[in-house]
Structure 1
Amino acid sequence: MKSNLLNIFFLIFASSVFAQTADSLSVQKEKVIVVKDSLEPKVEYNPLAPAKAAFYSAVIPGLGQAYNKKYWKIPIIYAGMAAGVYFYKQQDDDYNRFRDAYKRRLAGYTDDEFQGISNDRLINAQKSAQRNKSYSIIVTLGFYLLNVIDANVDAHLQQYEVSEDLSLQPSLNYNQFNAKPQYGMSLTYRFK
């Protein structure tokens, strides 16, 4: 009797397993949403990139900034260097005018454009124009050197990984004891 009951139970169970139709065995496709990872792909470290950017800027001012893809810096570099050259040219013309007038006075002529100015003032004007010419050269060379240094430092800084793991955000918390808001800043760094 027990064996008959087991056989009947087995037949009922087996028939329900084997009685599945083709509709019940169909494959269902799952839709999977793939979200792009927020981390940017790592760029291979190039130890010669800063030297290459500095060399490019030394050869042609602004070329290192173009190599670093910081195109907005190029007009600033050329404007600074052009201002230095412009003021050098202007001071050189003034120096030549003061010197020529002083030489004519030493030769005995009194028909120069600076008739109301004494000889001592002409000598001081020459010295001032010469000093300003030197300053203009320094400004031009300063912008040129700043161009080379900026290209080098910018290429160095581009190789550092800057991610969302380091963030500085304002925070607003409520004090549970007196129910007043508390303001602050939080610096977050996540280790991977």
Structure 2
Amino acid sequence: MKYWFYILLFCTSFGNFTGLGQETLNITAADTITNTINPLAPSKAAFYSAIFPGMGQVYNKKYWKAPIVWGAMGTSIYYYSWNKNKYDSYRTEYKKRLANDINLNPKYDRLSNNQLIQAQKFHQRNKDLSLLITVAFYALNIIDANVDSHLKQFNVNSKLTVAPEIQQDEINYKQNVGLSLNYRF
């Protein structure tokens, strides 16, 4: 009987204190706050990167990526110009030899005509490869700025989780490793 009294007192005490000066407080979870999305930001970042490589990364406030872009573009342009100069010098020497010019470069005296042709082919191939790499770095720069700007607007909240999962097979007791993707409604 004594315990019934305490249980009854405990249950009724909650009903008596609910209206005594308590204020209503609305709480919203931090992951449900919506940010405004600028749909033109990815195209603007890609445009800036197309005009000046690395500028899209600066627009996205990823300042550490800009020197990487500049270094990659600068290095590939440097190798393109170096291979072009070497190709032109070997080609000029070969043309002078075919024309029986007396103003030959003494630097190439020990090279035969076949060696000059092989050197031209080597530097032509490397020049073309350097140009291809320069164009690839330019395209990657634009793609990186665009994708990074898209991902800045990606909504990540606690409802979507990706976690590693290890399950044991009941037949042969081997462990299966994988990823589980869960979405809570």
What is the TM-score normalised by the length of structure 2? 0.69
Q: Does 1:52 align with 2:44?
A: yes
**What is aligned with 2:77?**
85
Mean alpha-carbon deviation: is it higher for 72-81 or for 106-115? 106-115
Q: Does 1:142 align with 2:140?
A: no
Aligned ranges 1:110-125 → 2 under 5 Å? 112-125=106-119
1:59-111 alpha-carbon deviations (Å, 9 max, x no partner): 11111111112222212211110111110122122113312332343325576
- Taking only the aligned residue pairs, the percentage that are identical comes to 45
Rg: which structure is higher? 1
Q: Does 1:131 align with 2:125?
A: yes
Q: Which amino acid aligns with 2:123?
A: A
**What is aligned with 1:190?**
184
**What is aligned with 2:58?**
66
Aligned counterpart in structure 2 of residue 169 of structure 1, from 158, 163, 168? 163
Contact 1:81–1:143 (8 Å) recurs in 2: yes
1:105-137 alpha-carbon deviations (Å, 9 max, x no partner): 332557632333220220121122122212212
Mean alpha-carbon deviation: is it higher for 93-102 or for 145-154? 93-102
Structure 2 CA distance for aligned equivalents of residues 119 and 129 of structure 1: 15
Q: 1:170 to 1:150 in 2, by over 3 A?
A: closer
Q: 1:112 to 1:44 in 2, by over 3 A?
A: same
1:130-177 alpha-carbon deviations (Å, 9 max, x no partner): 22212212211211121112111222222221122222335689xxxx
Structure 2 CA distance for aligned equivalents of residues 52 and 42 of structure 1: 22
